[in-house]
Structure formats: C-alpha cells, structure tokens
Structure 1
C-alpha cells in the first residue's frame, strides 16, 4: 500500500500521537481530527515504560494493558491505515518491549486485520539480549551502571530471567529504508523518542542539526498530550527542518511556551540534558514561541553525539508475594502499634523456618502514618485510625499464603498492653482475608552496554490479514464518521455545569487550588508553595530515582522563589532526610518557570517493600514550604 500523503512529505512531516501509552485509550474525535483535518502522515506511539516496576518484564503473560484495551486502540488506527494509508509505528510493544510482547501485538493486528478484511505489510523489531552477550561485555569491563545503580555482578546476571535493550532510531530507519511500503512497524523496547526520530530521519527533517528538533519532538510526543493544558491524551506535531509545532486536537486544550518547556522536567533527572543512545539531547538553548490556535513552535534543540551505548533492563524474581489489609481504630492499640506488629511478626517467625533463615520476610505498610513515603516521611503524628497492609514474600506462593494467614491471625487476636477490646483488633474488609499477589521481581539489570552497530537488531517483515484477493475495497471518497468534540460548559462558581471536576481551575481560567471561588484553604499561610505554585508533583525518573517539580505561574513568582534561596539542597536534606550524596539535582529552570529536585530512591522500584511504585505521592512535604516576601 502506498501512503497517499507521501507526496506531501516535502517541507513538513505531520505525526499524530494518540496517548502516552498504547492501550490507555483516546478520544475518537481527537484521533480523526488529526487524521482528517490535519492529514497526519503517521501515527507513532510509545507503548512502554518501566514506571510500573519490573513485573511486566519478569512475568511472561503480563502486559501493561489488557488485550481488550489494545484492540480498542488499534481499531481506528487500522481503519486509517487501510483506507488512507497512514503509517503506524509503535515502540516498546506491550509495555516492557520483550519479544513475546511484540508477538502479542502481531497477533492482535493479525486477528483484527482478518476480521475486517484488511491486509497489512508489518515489520517487527525485537530487542531481547542474551545473558551470554551481556556476560561477554561484563567480563571485558564494558558494562556501566545507568544512574545510581550498583555495579552489575555475574551473580545478578545469572539470576536475571530476561534482558531487553533500549534501541535507538536506527533499526526503525532501517525498516523504513529497506521496506518503504511497510504499513505498520511493531518494535521492541526502545528509547522513547526513537520511532519519532527515525521517521524524521527517513524524510530528512533536521539533518543539519543532527536531528535535534526531531529528537526533542519525540521526547515530548512519547508522553502523548501531557504538554497541553489541561493535560491531554492526544497531540499532533508538525515537524520541519529546523523546528516543530505542537498542535492541540481539542477545542478546550492548548499548548503554551511554558507547558511545552515544562515537559522536559517530567520524569527526568534534569530538564536541560537528556541522555539517550548515542548522545545527549541539549535543551538549554531551546526556544518556545506561541502561535495562534493554542499552538507552540519549538526550535534550537541540539544533539551532541557520544559513544553509542544502549540501556539494558533486566528482571530477577525474588519470590512470591501475599498481602492482607485491615484497619485499626482503637486508640490504645494505635499508641503501641509498632510493638504490636513486631510481636505478631516475631511469633509467626517462630513458626516458619523460612522466616528464621531470611528466605522469607514480613513487611508492614501503616497507612495514615508513613506507608506512602516510608523513611522519607517528615511528619510524625498519631492518627485516630490506621490502615495496615501486611506484605509477605517467600520462595513459593503456598508458603507466602501460609505465613500471611498466620501473621494476619496474630493481628486479629494477639493481646497488647492496656487492651480492653478482647473480641479482636483488626477490621478486615475482604474475604478471603489474604490475597496472593504472584511473583515479585527487582530490576537486577539497569546498565549501559556499547553497541557496535545500532541498526543490527532482528527484523522480520510479514503480511498480516486476508489474502490480496479478499481485501476490502478502498473507497476513494472515504470519510470516517466520528463524534464531534464535547466542550464542557462551566458555571460561574468554577464547577463544571455537568458535574465534572474542574481540575482546580475556575471558568475564567484562574487557579482555585481545588476550592470554589479561589478561596485559600488557610488564608494565614498564603506564602507556601501550595498557593504560590501552579504545579507541585513527583514521579519516577527511572527505577532508581524520584524527581520533583515545582512550577510557577509568572516570572514574578519564579524570581521571588529563586531570590529567596529557600529551595536548596539544605531544604531537601531536611524534608526528605537524605544525605547530600543522594541528591542528584537541585536547580531552577527558567524556560518552564520551575525548580527541580531529584534524589536517589530509598528502595528499588516495584520490588519488596515498595511504598509508591510510580513515585507520584512524594511531593507532599514541599506543599508547605514557605517562600518569604
């Protein structure tokens, strides 16, 4: 099939991204707006992330989304590909991008193409790496940690169940050059901007700047429409030789210079230097120019080449997990909750040799006190109610179940000093009372390895769907029928007239901080960040770091925060109880009117004892930081 838009890929390339993750869903009106009105040449989506932890990589039948979600999201895309020749490129298939995830996407496309009488030329790129290849590089001293990660050892490598590499744009470019009539590319684990950059390279957009703008575009689009305000699912980019425009697809959304610049803060250790395969994306001199229609033009990003390294991601199974939850309301028990939980664990340990030799473990998550932040929690207070989650890890699921059952019974019936309530201690909401949670993993490999030929990865090309003689006829006048975008009408008090939340914004666009009419929750503390900032957030920056962003509305407030000297390393150490060598970034970033801090995670992401897998709830201590006048 020949893409009917190819003749138009001369001075600009139009790329539509439907969502931050393939399978998360998108508005049909936004999709067809990008395809029909803006005549997108391609739909390019990053389908993966390490945000959910290592289990997706470790478990053979786990994907980041359900098959039904993939089928839903593929539907309009395959329709546009068949009738209009729009290319589809998806990277990091299935979430972790291992070989079976690529095969899963192939099977979904095969089934859907067959049932719709479509036929597609599909290319796959697989990115799993054998342990023998990694071991060879390890023994020659060529494996480096990626960030604050321990050195890779032979023992850790031996215990790793699977390894994938984050490839760059070169394999995608190879497919496009060798098979220019390909309809769909389904890639394994990839550096997020890789497929976007590859399409730009294929069309020669940005060669004089080493494809800096194209790489910058990919870095923004891989998160879907998060650069829009309010945050969106879908976005369109129009790429030219030296710049790209971000185009919102819904009438209630817009992109601003600050929101575009702010995207480089998101999930990054620092916003101005972004490392990737073969080099660094330099955004210190990037510019963001407002255009009519809520669009923004981004330019002047540069790419500096370095030794070509690919990031390796590998998972090691540590055992099996069982959890149970319950509540405590008795103030006498709450006062001595730590001793009570220790007693329950100690008694259970006496019953199970695996707990005695360390091959099994019991961990407590005390909600209402410090379960969300763990040792990072700065607030010490006695609540009136606690939620308790017990986490048990053992070498078999049955043993984890047995240990959890025993320690849960201890929570229900053990005695404690001053006890008056002899009927039981633990408010249990669920039956069965223990929930097997399956295998538990850790990221045992998160390291860099040299890559001699960045394009040399397994590529397979196939025809999926029905035989050519059975292909559904293409209508030359094809015009999809799709719903028009729905615009929410706001009432005068800032609430949506249809009852939907306003996300803390009133009808006039002013911030309300979640309160009607913009009233401060506590008018005695107007100088704290919860009132001065428009965004205070936290997120993982890879599995071993957590990063936090504070963004301001105006240069006046930003300058005030910068001049105050309050937002510094000393503050980070005080709020988060971390030593100086665990603070990776503390900086102001004027293009986004923001301050950023990044610290080493206190525990490995998504593994035993995890408190916040996505790292999204670690920002709260910053809210009450006061910025003096």
Structure 2
C-alpha cells in the first residue's frame, strides 16, 4: 500500500505519560482520545508503570516506584477518562516492580476510587495478571542449564542468589495480556504484573486486529512486518512523549493493518519527526538495530520514518519481528530479583584548604587505615569509600577548588555501618597532614544539622537472567493453577452499571494526513542553526549526546547529528569507534558490548558494562552516584576533535552545508 492510499486503522492507543505515578495532564489526554476515537478503531489508554532505572530497592524491599498517593491521583484521572470515552485502561509492572503485592495494591486503589461518592456510577470489570515465579521453578531451570545472564556483564546465577531473593519476577511477554483480553472482551481495566515494557501495547494491537499468537496467516514476511509494527510501536510508546521534540508526556498512535503506525504528541508545541522518532529507537537499548524481547527480536535495519503533512505526526514503517521458535530457539523471558547485601551510613561536607586538596587521596587512605584500626576484632564485614565532587577542578587563580565529600559505609549491620561512618567523619576532621596550617579542623560538615546519616538496607540486583520456557508456559493460565507462570484474577469493582464493550468490527479506511518524505540528503535544506567554525570537542558538533541505563548492568551512549553531511563526515572519519569508547572508560576494546552507526537517526551508539574499580557492577547498591546513568556522557562530550577532522568540518561549514532547520529535528 503506498503512502497516498487510505489506510484501515486496527487500533488507537493513547499514552498519557511514560510512567504511571509521575503525574499527567488530563485535558491533553482527553484531546488525544477525542482525536482518534472517531476513526472507529478499538482504542485504549495504555501506560507502563515499571523500571529498573531507579535501582533495586523495589525488588529487594517491596517499596513502590512512587508514593501511593501518586497512584491514587493518576488512576483517578485515568478512570475518569476511560469512563468518559468508553475505552479500557491497561497498565503493566504495577507499583514499579510488578510484584504480586503491588498488583493487589493497585486493585485496592481502584476499589478506594470507586468507593468515593462521586464515582458510584463506576463498574469496572478488572483483570489482574500475576507474574511472580517460585524459587523451586528457578532452581529447577538452573539445574537444567536453561538460565543464562541477560548480557555479557551479568554474572552466572547461583542457588545462593535464588535463595536470598525476597521475590523473583518474570518479565511477561504480550501473550498473557492478549489471552486475558481475548477471554474477557468486556473488561474495563487490566492491571498486569512485571512485563516487558511494550507487552501491553503489542497485546492490544494483536487483540484489536484479531491477530492470533503466533501468527500462521499470510506470507511470512507480511507477518513479520505486522508483528514488527506492533513491537516497534510499543517500544516507542512505553516512554510516552519522549519520541517528540521538544519531549513531552503524552502521545497517541494509530496502527494500521500492515503494521504501519502514526505517532502524534499531546503538547501542541511538540512534534514527532523522522529524526526525533528514529532517535528514540536508540533510547536505553544496548543496540539500535536488533532489539530482543520475550519470544523473539525486533529488527529495525529496514525501518523508515516519514513526516506527515500536519508537521506534527510521524509515520513509521518497516520493523520486522522474528519469533524465536520459528528459528528453532526456545522462548525466553527475563527473571528479575534483588537482595539486601548490608546496611549503609554516610557523612558529607566540604574540604576547602588547597594544601589538603592537593594530597586528598593520600589523606583519605590514612582515614581508611585509622577506621580499620579502630574496628579490629569487631564482628562483621564493612567497606568505606568516598564520592568526591570537584576534586580536579581549579579556580580562576589556578588553585584547587573546594571538594564536596560523601563518605559511604556499608556493613553487615546498621550499628556497624553507623560506627564506621562516625569514626571516618571524626578522623576526616582532625587527621594531620603535611604543611597543615588550619589545625582546628579540616572538614566543613553538619549539613542540615546532621553529623552522619543512617541510610538503612543496601539493595543490589541479584537476578537479571533469561530462562527458557517450554511450549505454552508463556501463556496465561485460565484454570487457577498456582504453579503456572502467569495467573489471572477477574473481579468487578464498583457498584454501577457496566459499560458496553468496544466493538471489534473493522472500521472504515481512515483519510489521515499524508506523509511528506524527507530523504536524509535533504535534512540540511532549511537554515536555522549555525554550527561553529574551529570546533574543539565532540559536544560542539552534535545535536544530541546522552547516556542512559540499558538495564541495570549496562550504560549506553547515543551521539546524534543534525544533518546527513555532518553525519557522513563523522562516520567516514573514524572519529567514533569501539576503541574510542574503550579508551575513554579505561577498558579493553573487547569489553565494549556494542558499537556502531544507525543511519536512520544520523547516530552513533556504544554500550559498555557498568563498572566500579574496573569490575562490572549493577546499578544501585554501594557507592552508586548515578543510578539512572544519565550523566555518564561527559567524557564523550569533551572528546577533543583531531586537527584533520576540524579542517574537514570547517570546509563543510564554509560551503553552508552544516545548517539544519529546527522544524526537521
């Protein structure tokens, strides 16, 4: 089907925000729903609620990703919208981790909302899907050699790690959600446990289009494109309006019968464009071209992005999904867990004396030795280390700038951690050092009136592994089998009259805005941004330069450019490579997980292991200072540009080719 033909929509999806509990604009979400409901295709409000980005505490300690009040606030708005427009509400990874406890907590919140006098008209047929797994299941699969680490930095799983986990969750694919929707087409709300972020989007698109799992109808390539469209759409929408420029909270998608889909942001000032959408394909992933998930992988090497004539909508075409079993491989899902590894305490303050700052490393090692001496014979293990901010900066007078220190102690008990931190603070204040003049004290401390801070349990990711499933184990169990991986509970919440469910009859073709194709070679045609001559660093010549977690064990870097000419100049210069990122982060080139260019987004990407003292570590835990991974890009930002490259760059700028209109970004 060509871009000028009317297309038949199979579903519409509105995502109000990338994370339930983070707040949403009800009026903007209502406008997005009002725009798509008239096309007659089944419509749903779908959003994600989970992430490993904020660390392992949710899994280890049972806390939620946001305060309970935030979930009450957001769900009150979402139920009001769902009821007004007669569309279902679906969200996954309840509470942030998707544990069974937090699925039940969300059901309680829904009941509280319905109990409010203003909501007595609600009658919510609610499906809850649970995804926790038993330790006996994990032990058995480990014994059968059916479990592997999810990525090179993840250490092998051991029986001890299984036993020490308070809860173990399996990251469900779309199949259990699809099964629930098919079995209960009159549902109002679906609350899912831990799920692969795109799973509810894929499931609803398959359900609305009456496409069974796995597909057997039609040519194999057509089936791959259809499922590829579903998966690609879900991978983008689960982050809300981050695919727009400027980024915003809400976004909507209309999916068509061939897997093509259109994306439109909620904010009037924002636009979804070929560059902004293709750039999001790189976001928080190990690599941009092949994305693995439950039961298969999404291939985006042939993906295409077209601007529609409204200037705000982007059409996406060309993703392909391959089912693992079609290639003779087992269906795999990810297992996730975390454990408590000890207790923490800290102290913090500033060092301002330039004499001390110049020898700070040596002085802190003496502090560590003194703390060790004072705890000789004490039962229990402990560690002590420091976060140092500003240590290598200098003032205008070429003197060392002040250094902010956070001393962090980890120990087997809270009492021992408190003692280590307290002893370290006292000796940091009073330890002598060569050429000392300020003998009254070395350390400005006591922020907020605190000497030391008791930080409580220290959590660490312990299971982040792939497990092979037998045929059918990925599906929803309909027989209340407590040993099944995915189980459901169906209930009616509220005392009102039920709403009539949406029809799944095929809508008429939609006369939507048509694509305005913009080849990469023309992306520099509109003048808006002038690039500098004689740039000094990589940051001077990039449009986007960022870092982010790609799961708890990896950091990924995205470097994007504004024009095809600049991109090709960088690509042909050997300026960016696995060797470069390895050198910047003090590791061997063979330790780099992935490095390469992605033409669709005019981008280069690299992924490396998270490390501390040269060893792979997961996000969160002891001595974490950037759990999100979003400030790891600075070394790339400051990467010096070689003289020969700058000469070529200045030639491009002189010819007026290094300019790009912001309307195309």
TM beyond 0.5? yes
Secondary structure at 1:348 match in 2: helix
Alignment of 1:255-404 (within 5 A): 255-293=272-310, 294-306=312-324, 307-353=330-376, 359-369=381-391, 383-404=400-421
Alignment of 1:138-287 (within 5 A): 138-148=142-152, 149-204=154-209, 208-210=222-224, 211-242=227-258, 243-287=260-304
Report if the CA contact (8 A) 1:125-1:460 is conserved: yes
Match of 1:505 in 2: none
Alignment of 1:393-432 (within 5 A): 393-428=410-445, 429-432=447-450
Cα distance, 1:563–1:419 mapped onto 2, change above 3 Å: same
Task: Give the deviation of 1:161 after TM superposition.
Answer: 2.1
Report if the CA contact (8 A) 2:11-2:209 is conserved: no
| Runs of 4+ more than 6 Å apart | none
* Alpha-carbon distance in 1 for matches of 2:540, 2:450: 44
Gaps of 5+ in 2: 1-6, 216-221, 325-329, 477-485, 500-525, 612-616, 649-665
Task: Give the deviation of 1:527 after TM superposition.
Answer: 5.1
Task: Give the deviation of 1:573 after TM superposition.
Answer: 2.3
Task: Give the deviation of 1:108 after TM superposition.
Answer: 1.4
Secondary structure at 2:582 match in 1: helix
Secondary structure at 2:298 match in 1: strand
Secondary structure at 1:311 match in 2: strand
* Alpha-carbon distance in 1 for matches of 2:350, 2:147: 47
Match of 2:481 in 1: none
Report if the CA contact (8 A) 1:205-1:239 is conserved: no
Alignment of 1:474-485 (within 5 A): none
Report if the CA contact (8 A) 1:205-1:214 is conserved: no
- 58, 61, 82: which is aligned to 1:59? 61
Corresponding pairs, count:
565
Report if the CA contact (8 A) 2:547-2:558 is conserved: yes
Report if the CA contact (8 A) 1:315-1:444 is conserved: yes
Report if the CA contact (8 A) 1:312-1:445 is conserved: yes
Cα distance, 1:75–1:347 mapped onto 2, change above 3 Å: same
Task: Give the deviation of 1:399 after TM superposition.
Answer: 2.3
Match of 2:656 in 1: none
Report if the CA contact (8 A) 2:10-2:209 is conserved: no
Task: Give the deviation of 1:577 after TM superposition.
Answer: 0.9
RMSD: 2.3
* Alpha-carbon distance in 2 for matches of 1:358, 1:535: 47
Task: Give the deviation of 1:284 after TM superposition.
Answer: 0.5
* Alpha-carbon distance in 1 for matches of 2:166, 2:420: 26
* Alpha-carbon distance in 2 for matches of 1:151, 1:224: 34
- 625, 630, 651: which is aligned to 1:616? 630
- 610, 617, 641: which is aligned to 1:601? 610
Cα distance, 1:348–1:279 mapped onto 2, change above 3 Å: same
Cα distance, 1:10–1:300 mapped onto 2, change above 3 Å: closer
- 41, 44, 61: which is aligned to 1:42? 44
- 120, 137, 145: which is aligned to 2:141? 137
* Alpha-carbon distance in 1 for matches of 2:427, 2:178: 60
Match of 1:103 in 2: 104
Secondary structure at 1:265 match in 2: coil
Report if the CA contact (8 A) 1:369-1:382 is conserved: no
Q: Deviations over 1:516-567 (max 9, x none)?
A: xx7x8xx674253212110000001111110000000000110110111111
Task: Give the deviation of 1:10 after TM superposition.
Answer: 7.1
Match of 1:81 in 2: 82
Secondary structure at 2:443 match in 1: coil
